[in-house]
Amino acid sequence: MNENESQYRFDLLQKRWVIIAGGRGKRPDDFTSRKEPTPENGFCPFCPGGEGKTPREIAAVREKGSSADGPGWKIRVVANKFPALRIEGEANREADGIYDRMNGIGAHEVFIESPRHDSTIAERTVEDVAQLLQVFRGRLQDLMNDTRLKYILVFKNHGAAAGATLAHPHSQLIATTVTPRTIALELNACREHHMVKERCLICDIIKHEISERDRLIGVDERFVAFCPYASRFPFEAFIAPRFHQHDFALATDGDLRGLAASLREVLARLKRGLDDPPYNFVLHTAPNARVEPKRAHQWETLAQDFHWHMEILPRLTRVAGFEWGSGFYINPTEPEEAARFLRSV
């Protein structure tokens, strides 16, 4: 692709077109030093000593002998103090004239990732990152026992431009009584591909990216990281297991250590190469197959056709009127160039 050309590229998972505008001149050096400070008010409730300022612990990784809601923790999970959804009650879907509505039932939790206020995933050990992923897995396993909850999304906002309101390293979980549209589109795309080809779509994408290598960031025996062919954002990354697995909750400790190494490597390359940009990451895993009520034949082929993965979305450009109005994303950096730069960091 010439530097003055643009291309439409089709996203197989989301069934949408993305515009790769190579002529807009956005190179890696154009994106450095664009961090916005995360607001601080002089007191951090996530630091040691602030345990009494957060809701009570739901789960934690602690030093032996330490007590809940006190010092001695490595990772804490608490309910969000200002939740988007609440766990108590029933959804009670009902008509509102021509519309539908439900009560705001769900769960909203915060993972306080480290006692250190300035510790990022890029700087932690693989073992520490794996331990955080194990806590993610534990909360998914627990919440999937609640048959009201259809989907559980784990995500991280890093930096003010990505939506973080506190600088202390943390990630979040929101569980919903509906399947999010983005997830539903992926589920449908994967099922349709499997119906025609009797293969997993994401497995096919992974094999292609490893074969082509142009968009690879890193690959080992268990995991692969690459810039998606139809990347929405500059330096967007996609991390997935090379083995087929539909549900993150089924991942073993060994699997999570492999993911930890890949995630830490990608975030470290972004941090070093782009001066610690703001980013979001999201974990896309299978919906809760235990949910009730369930439509006939819903998710019967899920174990064969879906494949969990993690997406990292640096916030280096702004979504503006054309994007909102058209549904297109305009990415000024070719994913091949982005991957080449990240490999070189």
Q: Are 16 and 327 in contact (CB under 8 A)?
A: yes
d(CA 205, CA 248): 19
- How many domains are contained in the chain? 1
Hey, what are 282's tokens? 């999201």
The sign one gets for the Cα dihedral 335, 310, 262, 314 is: positive
State the pairing for strand pair 106-112/73-79.
antiparallel
Q: Is residue 1 part of a domain?
A: no
Burial label for 34, CB within 10 Å (0-12, 13-18, 19+), is middle
d(CA 114, CA 54): 15
Hey, what are 276's tokens? 């610690």
Q: Is residue 223 part of a domain?
A: yes
Range of the domain at 190: 6-344
3-class secondary-structure state, position 112:
strand
pLDDT, residue 16, reads: 83
Query: Which CATH number belongs to the domain containing residue 141 in this structure?
Result: 3.30.428.10
- pLDDT of the chain, 345 residues: tens digit per residue: 666 678 888 989 988 888 888 755 566 666 665 555 555 567 899 999 999 999 999 999 999 988 999 999 999 999 999 999 989 888 888 888 999 888 898 999 999 999 999 999 999 999 999 999 999 999 999 999 999 999 999 999 999 999 998 999 999 999 999 899 999 999 999 999 999 999 999 999 999 999 999 999 999 999 999 999 999 999 999 999 999 999 999 999 999 999 999 999 999 999 999 999 999 999 999 999 999 877 767 778 999 999 999 999 999 998 899 999 998 899 999 999 999 999 999
Q: Is residue 310 part of a domain?
A: yes
For residue 100, give Cα distances in angstroms to 86, 145, 177. 19, 26, 14
Q: Is residue 86 part of a domain?
A: yes
pLDDT, residue 232, reads: 96
Q: Is residue 301 part of a domain?
A: yes
Q: Are 319 and 197 in contact (CB under 8 A)?
A: no
Is the pTM value of this prediction over 0.75?
yes
